[in-house]
């Protein structure tokens, strides 16, 4: 495991949703953490995967991108991978319930999906903000409930952007 960790690279970026720490292997994005972090065992150096991920993330926030094409390799077991795959199928601007994702991923109930998505290693890229409890309750989000609400509003608005160049809005307001 030591050699595998040494192959990881990370970089901290200031995004429209605040600081994020992106972690990548040589050819795939592994994790996105909210806030500036110093992940143990990873080298603080950019690579092309990290660069592409931040460019695409900024395009997403400015309404120029609806999906990502950065290669992903999220941490997680077989059950988690099934849930992540189903969540990635949700079209931009649409939502699904935890129960619907559970059914399509072959899991017993929505609570199991909710627990898995609470630990989603790649928020935004695996768009768990599009998974809700029901029409009256959005459910929780790894980046905070208010950010989840803002992301859903952004995707469903006519302008489809949360931020505009040169004008960063605090996602908590």
Contact yes or no for 151/145 (Cβ under 8 A):
no
Annotated catalytic residue, options 16, 20, 23, 128? 128
Contact yes or no for 69/63 (Cβ under 8 A):
no
Would residue 128 show up in a list of annotated catalytic residues for this protein?
yes
Return d(Cα 25, Cα 39) in angstroms, integer.
13
Q: Which residues pair with 32 in a beta bridge?
A: 22
List phi, psi (to 5°) of 11: -150, 145
So which residues are the catalytic ones? 128
């Amino acid at each position: 495991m030591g050699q595998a960790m040494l192959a990881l690279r990370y970089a901290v970026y200031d995004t429209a949703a605040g600081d994020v720490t992106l972690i990548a292997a040589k050819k795939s994005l592994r994790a996105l953490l909210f806030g500036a972090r110093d992940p143990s065992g990873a080298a603080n150096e950019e690579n092309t995967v990290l660069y592409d991920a931040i460019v695409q993330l900024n395009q997403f926030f400015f309404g120029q991108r609806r999906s990502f094409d950065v290669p992903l390799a999220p941490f997680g077991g077989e059950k988690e991978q099934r849930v992540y795959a189903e969540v990635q199928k949700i079209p931009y601007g649409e939502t699904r319930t935890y129960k619907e994702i559970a059914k399509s991923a072959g899991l017993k109930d929505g609570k199991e999906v909710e627990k898995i998505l609470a630990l989603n290693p790649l928020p935004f890229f695996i768009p768990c903000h599009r998974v809700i409890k029901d029409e009256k309750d959005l459910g929780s989000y790894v980046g905070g409930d208010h950010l989840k609400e803002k992301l859903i509003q952004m995707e469903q608005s006519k302008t489809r952007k949360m931020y505009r160049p040169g004008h960063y809005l605090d996602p908590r307001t």
